[in-house]
Structure 1
Amino acid sequence: MRRHTSSLDDQSLWRVALDYARDAAVIIDDGGHICYVNQAAERIWGIGRADLVGSHSDCLGVDAIQPEPVAGSHLTNAASDLPLAIDITSRDNRSITAELTRSTIRVDGLNYTMLTVRDVTPELERRKGIELLTSIADRTTRAVLVTDPELKLLYTNAAFTSLFGYSAEDAKGQNIIDLLSGRHTNRRTIAGLKRWIADAEGGEEEILVYDQNGDEIWISADVKALRNAQGRITQVFALLTDISETRQLRMLQQVTLGALADEIPITDVADRMCRFVEKIAPDVVSTILHVDAQGLLHPLGGPNLPDDYSRALDGVSIGPMVGSCGAAAYFGRPVLALDIETDPRWQPFKKRPLEIGLRACWSSPIKAKDGRVIGTFAFYFRACRPPSRWHHRIVDACLHLGALAIERMESRAQIARLAYFDMLTGLPNRARLRDLIADATAACPHGRTVALAFLDVDNFKDINDTLGHAAGDEFLVEFARRLRDQVQPGDVVGRLGGDEFVVVLPNREPAEIEPVVARINEALMLPFALCNSQVPMSASIGVSLYPDNATDIDSLINQADTAMYRAKRSGRSTYRLFNCDMHGAAEQRMAYAAALRSALANNRLELHYQPQIRTSDGALHGVEAMARWHDPVLGPVPPTKFIPLAEECGLIDQIACWSIREACRQMRVWRDQGLEVPSVSVNLSPINFENAALPTLVADTLATYHLPPEALMLEVTEGVAQDDRSAAHDTMAALRRIGVGLSLDDFGTGYSNLNRLAQLPIRELKIDRGFMSELETSPTARTVVTTVVRVGQSLALSVVAEGVETTAQFQLLSDLGCDVAQGFLYAPALAPAAFEHWLLGYSASRAGTMMERIEPTTADHRPAPRTATRRRH
């Protein structure tokens, strides 16, 4: 039978419940004395239960109004006032804001007041923080939004409406991803942001989104998750910045101008431009054509157009009915074909574009400074549509860049005569500057410095866009004149290219540098009269000192460039001196070096294997082992990055030793499994051949895994072959005495002396993969490959061609007498298990082909061609 309790002191069940409640509970009798307090009340008032019980309620600082009589004899909640906000000062002088609720209860004919107190101080502080954040967001020029945990919009500011066109009322309640995503929005990027929000604080990403009209906008999204005390997400806060022009187009300009300044071939410049454009506008296929003095079209760039289509355009005359590009060049104005299928200008040329899904074309003329049309820049669309606002902004940037590139090409003869000076300003150019900087640093006395100031003209694009390129050139000439006026005889002023300049101040006391730079900065800021208007002139300047900051030219320039970007981020029109805190690149290098050391220590590097196939009979010649590194934090790191890093950090010998041991171990495994892999090639750095212990290591490894010497091939570079130091040659000779093969890698890209080549202890030549892409189309590439094959034949060396991707390339190599082909035509570099699977399939296919050849055939049943098995796997 349940025992019935009739007094307040016997209510054990509710006492336990109240004692463990989160909110404070205080029970006061009708005389105003405290009968009961729970643990939470002790914490809030900072007074122990023994001191509180029996005391008058005045000690709480709360007016406990006596309740009205309530009928009934059990503990009941007779009435509950609305919560009251109160301030409590505890005994230890803590100030607390709380919500107080009073309830009247009656027990055994006696009336009691029950006070329930909840500490709302953290919640109020959070509310104040949100109110402050909202106040700031309503005043910022960047788009601000707040969503619930399901990413449904709760708040947007005026900048959001201005950027995307959606009013606050239209946006509220909509999922932000659904609202702004479009066809080419990168879903992986959005998924990554969602993971960051769920797993951590948030993250920042660049994303292509769409406004209310469907126009593309590149934004930088800085997203943060707001969490409650229990760690649950309550809101998601994001700052969205339009980077369409400030970042993406500036990067396009930097990529192109950097390529131009580096004097790379114009086809590579155009290719980089097109690839970058297609990255920031993924719904287009872009192309750049050159219009020569005779009015003929010549493709310069168009990496995603079929080669046969580009070749067909070469040499076509411009004209009013010659597609969009020919017409744009003829009329000197943009031409849009909304429907290639029906546009009369496209009738003779439409078949190939339509076959690959291109439906519309918009072409704009590229003009020289004198107004001549020297090229076209075109966008192909996969739908019948006009260009968007974003497309117009890209083309506006590309026309100027394209003009710079093509004019450089047309002026190459003159540039060759003036190889070391800038034609526009008369200043030393990049190539000459390196020599002048080297001279200044070499002659610098002890205790003195050489200052290198890197200057980037502020807002130069605005001048080109508003006043034209001719005005921009006049501006740069005046900029260069002002720089020259501020330096002394013996100082150097140069132009790197575009709107980038360098000032070299040799033989200075460190204290002299900053006043000179400040004077230059002030002189540049004087307004300049241009096109009947006053144009502001200023620059962002970064300064690095030799030898205080750097002891080599590249580091000196890079540090000044880093300081310049710090000045640009500080508001422009100012200067910054380099300091170690700016050295983010060094920090990244240290992080990668530490990760690489860890990867070596914990065996996280892998070798993948690419097959090499004999051209004579299709048999497996061997495999090349290629190092791969996938870091758990950094992700996949390409060999082009971690191998030079290993050379710099002194880890290259460890990688070489590991590669040789791992390749030999894998060869032993395959031979034990019965897989016939004749040999494995391992790439080594030139530094490895300066290690006199390398032959001993190789001999011991071969002995450990019971492999014959001919099972291992070590690849060297032409740099080692040309090295006059005896250490490398002695190492090579010792390796050949062991019986290990040596292969000369990337042959044809350097300047090897044939007489020296004949004296080297090598067994194999490898043709660089760079010649393969042009083997079918370039007579020069074919000539180089033919020469390498003939050299190999004359010296009784095997010749291996890397980067073979097509059957046509393979056939040309076979006809030339090249011994071995390696490349994607057969397989990429594969992990060991994947290679084993490939080898079994390839061997079975090859065996089947051989059986067909030896069986009697009729005229109607001929054997499969030899190249039938040479397909990509």
Structure 2
Amino acid sequence: MKWRRIIRYTSCHAWTQSGLCASYRRLAGKRRRNPNHENTRRGAGLVQRVYLLRCAGFGMGCMPLALVMHSQQAPHWLIACMVVACLTWPHLAYQSAKSGPSLVLREHRNILVDAALGGLIVTMIHFSPIATVVILLMFAMDAMATGGCRLFFMELGATAIGLLCGLAIFGPTHSFADDRLIGVVWLPILIAYPLLLAKVVYDSTIVLDERSRELREMSERDSLTGLLNRATLSNRLETTLAWARQAHRRVVVLFIDLDHFKTINDVLGHHVGDRLLVRVADRLQRCVDPSDTIARYGGDEFVIFTTSEAQGVDRALPQSALAAIAEPMQIAGHELFVGASVGISVFPCDGTDADTLISAADLAMYSAKSRCRNGYATFLPNMRTVADARLDMFTRLRSAFRAGQIYLHYQPQVDMRSGEIVGVEALARWHDTQHGEISPAMFIPVAEACGLISALGEWVLETACTQAMAWRQMGLAPLRVSINLSPLQLQRDEFITTVQQVLRRTHMPPSMLELEVTESAFMNDPKTAVRLLAEFRKWGIAIAIDDFGVGYSSLNQLRTLPIDRIKIDRTFIAHIGEHDDGAIARAIVMLADTLGLAVIAEGVESIEQQNFLLTIGCFQAQGFLYSKPVQPDEIQQMVRTGARIGNPIERAR
């Protein structure tokens, strides 16, 4: 049985990847536009079918009832009233049922009115045997077929009410003698009406089956693209893995994530982003085989898995997918170019269940995205180790921040001509109880990734400003304090309010504060970053570009940025005096002088580096030649004693 299910799945699956997705998207789109469409259509269908059934029943029964009443010498006006009621009531009931929002409930109410009328008619014909049986049976079948046992028992009660009303109007008389000719007239009704009822029930069953299939498709597929959704993907992959385990076959899983999709959503709107996702889904379907499975995993993520034994399929398939996505798209008057990052995992070497394989492909995708984007990477075991370590650091960093295990050290910034301390840079440090000192190069990216950078950055800002004011209250000369900003902080408009509040609480003069930003801060959202930094400069806060030269700033961009100082990166200083002639450092100093900007070098560790910087016109520096980052009381001691640190130019001569 297990093999039969697998064979049935693989044979039925091949045709569902393209045409079904398109038709499903049209269906889902209609459902999204009108959330009450399904209930309204179902109720309208029921009302129409019951209307036809009611017209047939009352229409066919009208003549035999008139003949029975005529044989019983009933008044002509009463016969006429009965005929008018039989011919008009179906139309009144239909108009009543379709005029309200709750169609099904209104139709159930009409069926109870049918039953009451049936009881009244039975007393009107004085319980004529054949007519009584036919009438009561017809209305009982209607109630059971339309509303089940509950409506059937309610119909019995309505019939009883009609009988009581009829007995009160026409009296308890009865007539058990039926004319044979009238009995023959009832015979077609006894045959035709059950057949008509069976046809209506059959049609309803077909409609319900079709609707059940549609609802099943809706539960299995993504409403936007028509592809399989995440839950169905996991089930299909598990089924395929069971088959592959028996057949000793490989299963290749691709995890695809679009590059810079958020930018398209933010700039052009979600309606353009949705159309882009639909277009990408169509292109991916065209580049896979019919036997492959493709799903939208969520957001801008797609998953493909294949059991193909073609040589190099784990390379050819991602290349084909990337090429298909990279083609330009015309959407809403915009020509869009989209890339993607793809991660690859393979059963059984990278995992034996669906969740593990998808997770492995996801990790490989992030590896591809971190390397170059618009490429692919194959899962390696160390990726999981790195991810687990990163997750562990997430947890430990949050706990350390709450427990106050993050602290600040300060590195002096020195005038190399005199050795005088002219400022300090505040640097966050973390002493972990398990792993000891952890480098900021490791935990700052983690703080950015886990959303802790805003709280951490605000704490660093307030702690450094508080310390600067404490030094000033001790009688020390004012020291400029430099604080590093994350690019993420400059993407938040509320950061302006944060800085204002910190300066107000600490009573820190803006002129004593310098904010350092890297060149990457101007890449993601340059307008917001420039606007925030320009606002800070209006207050008197100095702005410096940190690690200058390792980013991608153009000279034109540098000329327009609201900055006061350039910080030469240590990579352009480290080998001066060895095999580096310092040409880049010299060019940066000349550029800063041309633009009227101050300049400072970081990472100065030798006398040769200091002397070279002095000769090219760079007079301020920081580095281990002068002091490593130290605790606040050591800075206090250095400034209080007026110590000249490093090798001032007077002594160098």
TM-score normalized with structure 1 length = 0.35
* Structure with larger Rg: 2
Higher fraction of strand: 1
TM-score normalized with structure 2 length = 0.46
